[in-house]
């Protein structure tokens, strides 16, 4: 019996391309999930110092560290109102974190009239840089190849079929 598919059969090539793309997408998605699971595990276990214990203790504290460090990188002091709005939180939660973090030396607080604004201290920035280095290594070892394979394949298919 002769195989009816040939090398020029467009439907078999198209299905093959779709199959490869689906495989690369699935691999990428699985790697994203592995990273998120790794980050969750790290937030439960990376408790080596006071900064890690505080900011890994709750999701809102974890996010607050990012906003405060971003403030240093962008030379911006965040007001309570801005933090409440951007983090989708409430004044009481943010005010409490500001008080706690100021007392521990994690943030610098400026008070001008009724306005309170803040950003990370050098200590928090240093610990965030440590985290970013750890995250870079996790990302590179987990997702780097899957992401690159997917992007390169999509670029190739875009050029080839347009």
pLDDT digits (tens, 9 = 90+) for 80-114: 999 999 999 999 999 999 999 999 999 999 999 99
How far are the Cα atoms of 4, 114, 136, 155 from residue 13, in angstroms, in the given order?
Answer: 14, 67, 37, 17
Q: How confident is residue 11, by pLDDT bands cut at 50, 70 and 90?
A: low
Q: Are 107 and 101 in contact (CB under 8 A)?
A: yes
Q: What local confidence, expressed as pLDDT, does residue 10 receive?
A: 54
**CATH classification code of 15-156:** 1.10.10.10
Choose among 157, 146, 161: nearest CA to 23: 146
Q: What local confidence, expressed as pLDDT, does residue 147 receive?
A: 87
Q: What percent of the chain has pLDDT over 70?
A: 90
Choose among 60, 64, 58: nearest CA to 43: 58
Q: What is the domain partition of the chain in residue ranges?
A: 15-156
Q: Are 68 and 124 in contact (CB under 8 A)?
A: yes
For the chain, the straight-line distance linking the first and the last C-alpha, in angstroms and rounded, comes to 36
Q: pLDDT tens digit string along 62-77?
A: 999 999 999 999 999 9
Structure tokens at 124: 């928090």
């Amino acid at each position: 019996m002769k195989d009816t598919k040939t090398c020029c059969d467009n439907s078999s090539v198209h299905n093959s391309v779709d199959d490869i793309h689906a495989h690369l997408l699935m691999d990428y998605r699985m790697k994203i999930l592995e990273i998120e699971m790794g980050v969750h595990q790290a937030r439960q276990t990376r408790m080596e110092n006071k900064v890690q214990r505080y900011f890994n203790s709750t999701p809102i504290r974890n996010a607050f560290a990012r906003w405060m460090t971003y403030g240093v990188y962008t030379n911006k002091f965040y007001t309570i109102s801005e933090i409440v709005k951007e983090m989708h939180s409430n004044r009481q939660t943010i005010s409490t974190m500001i008080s706690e973090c100021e007392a521990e030396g994690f943030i610098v607080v400026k008070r001008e009239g009724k306005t309170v604004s803040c950003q990370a201290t050098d200590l928090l920035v240093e610990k965030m840089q440590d985290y970013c280095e750890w995250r870079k290594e996790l990302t590179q070892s987990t997702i780097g190849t899957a992401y690159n394979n997917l992007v390169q394949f999509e670029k190739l298919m875009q050029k080839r079929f347009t």
